[in-house]
Structure 1
Amino acid sequence: MNTVTSRNNQVRELVDRHLAWLLDEQVERLGFLDDPDVELVRAFLVEFVLNGGKRLRPTFVSWGFRAAGGERPAEVLPAACTVELVHAAAPLETGPRLGAALDVYTVERPLHLGHAVAGGCPRTRRLLSAYAPALGEALQLRDDVNGVFGDPARTGKPAGADLLQGKATFLLAEARRRTGSPLLDGVAGLDRPPGSPPEVRQALAELATLCAEGGPR
């Protein structure tokens, strides 16, 4: 295991422990509920916040902190966990379509937040901004592909999760633009829902083949 992977795993473990502690602390405030109701809330929050998730945003908060000279992980944990909680709640607050739009901040804003916690200099912030967009786009496109074709055992999401949610990803919107396929109308903001996941996957696979052969652009 290389150093970057090892450090990323350490960040994830720290964030998971801190989130678990935070949930326990908040559940303790539910004394006005009966015990079964408290346990129901606890189970829901654990499933919603702790189970699954790649912890990408907290990881980038941590790397922004380190890039700016931060040395004590405990100092950046509250900020890292806040970003994760905001991300987890975004689809409930905004709906899946706007939630997808917020994904563009996967890299740059978390890096900036970690940089700010460490009190980093303007030059480092500019370097982080120069580095972040291309990586953020690559991560988002990979997530879009996984949201359609990904193995649930690896992604932690149902097969075709983005299709089932009607999530307006760049992948699906671009495919709709290039093909005009009615199967993709739902992801273009129209009234009709998208086609079934197998149908849409087939349409996207055919588009990929056409593009590889110099077809629709």
Structure 2
Amino acid sequence: MSPSRVRKQVDGALLSFVARQRPGLLAISDDLAPVMAALDALLGEGKRLRPAFCYWGWRAAGGDLDEGIVNAAASLELLQASALIHDDVMDSSDTRRGQPSVHRRFEALHRAQDWPGDATAFGEGTAILLGDLCLAWSGEMFETCGLDDDRRRRGRAVYDLMRTEVMCGQYLDMLEGTRGGATVETALRVVEYKSAKYTIERPLHLGAALAGGGPGVAAALSGYGLPLGIAFQLRDDVLGVFGDPAETGKPAGDDLREGKRTVLVALTLERATPAQATALRRRLGDPDLDRPGVAELRAIIEETGGLAACESMIAEYAHEADRALAAAPITHEARDALAALAVAATARST
């Protein structure tokens, strides 16, 4: 099955699952219609990377074309929706995938209806609940995917570990932002648990476990998936500062306004003069950072060599993943698909 076909099937599985859930929610109250609309809008976008890696982990471990793997892989999009909704609340993000973030959407609804009380608190509370609902539904979709009990039992341990790791990674990310003094080492620790394992390594492991793959397959997939996951997040960090809003779905320089203590920022501070470091620290995390302010910080990141160093790290981690994939004991079909996914994960413009 081609990667584009996998994505189309994942989209169909998600649409079908949400369609089955919709009547139950609306039977509780028509007031839940805006909640479903917000979820529809969020699920309508996205690269579907996690389901793709899960599917090709399954194929790499000898799994067949069973429809159940598509449903199991698609459940990861609901987990991702939960993570994104909660992440946007914690970061006070205004947009996600080119549209208002969920908490801003419901904040606007509160104001439009002229309801009493705090619109911000209502938006954040609704977003937390919808994120929780997505988390619950991800587990439900996995458990009802259609794969037999033995396969699901093998995958469940990986799924549980994946959810634990991403929440720990999110906490570490918040902690570094609060401390305000992340080093490259501590920033990479956040990258590993919040993104690299969650986005690539564990989805690969989940697919392989569902297919009955042994420790050797899992180790080979880790050799490819973990460095690629790090490269993926480093690319995302660069795009969060230098990316085109039309491509990223977020305002230019949004990571700077949110004060994200990324590897890119840590590399810049390592190389900065005292004056440059002071300027970066002073403006980083300023929610009112305007276009000239973004341009000033971008210039510091480039002039110090922080951007070049980050690009070099991306290339090194991507090359490590390529070497591991070439040596992995998997089919040519799976290797070709994973090579294409590696390009998609580290592309400069997406």
Q: Structure 1 residues 109 and 33 mapped into 2: Cα distance closer, same or farther (>3 Å)?
A: same
Q: Check if 1:104 corresponds to 2:201.
A: no
SS, match of residue 213 in structure 2: coil
1:88-143 CA deviation, whole Å, 9 max, x = no partner?
A: 22244463582763112121111000101111122211111122222112212111
2:58 is matched with 65
Which of the numbers 13, 28, 33 marks the counterpart of 1:32?
28
Residue 183 of structure 1 and its aligned partner are, at CA, apart by 4.4
CA contact (8 A) 1:185 1:193 kept: no
Q: Structure 1 residues 164 and 91 mapped into 2: Cα distance closer, same or farther (>3 Å)?
A: farther
Residue 60 of structure 1 and its aligned partner are, at CA, apart by 0.7
Q: Check if 1:204 corresponds to 2:301.
A: yes
Q: Structure 1 residues 8 and 172 mapped into 2: Cα distance closer, same or farther (>3 Å)?
A: farther
2:38 is matched with 44
Q: Structure 1 residues 74 and 162 mapped into 2: Cα distance closer, same or farther (>3 Å)?
A: farther
Structure 2: runs of 5 or more not aligned: 92-168, 174-189, 310-350
Q: How many residues align?
A: 201
Q: Structure 2: how far apart are the matches of 1:210 and 1:165? A: 19
CA contact (8 A) 1:62 1:76 kept: yes
The one-letter code matched in structure 2 to 1:76 is I
2:264 is matched with 171
CA contact (8 A) 1:57 1:84 kept: yes
Structure 1: runs of 5 or more not aligned: 1-5, 213-217
The one-letter code matched in structure 2 to 1:203 is I
Residue identity over aligned pairs, in percent, reads 42
Residue 210 of structure 1 and its aligned partner are, at CA, apart by 9.1
SS, match of residue 28 in structure 2: coil
SS, match of residue 166 in structure 1: coil
- TM-score, normalised with respect to structure 1: 0.78
Residue 49 of structure 1 and its aligned partner are, at CA, apart by 2.4
Residue 172 of structure 1 and its aligned partner are, at CA, apart by 2.1
- Higher mean alpha-carbon deviation, 102-111 vs 173-182, is at 173-182
Question: With CA pairs under 8 Å and 6+ residues apart, which has the higher RCO, 1 or 2?
Answer: 2
1:76 is matched with 69
CA contact (8 A) 1:23 1:45 kept: no
- TM-score, normalised with respect to structure 2: 0.51
Q: Check if 1:126 corresponds to 2:219.
A: yes
The one-letter code matched in structure 1 to 2:302 is A
CA contact (8 A) 1:61 1:113 kept: yes
The one-letter code matched in structure 2 to 1:33 is S
1:3 is matched with none
Q: Structure 1: how far apart are the matches of 2:248 and 2:12? A: 21
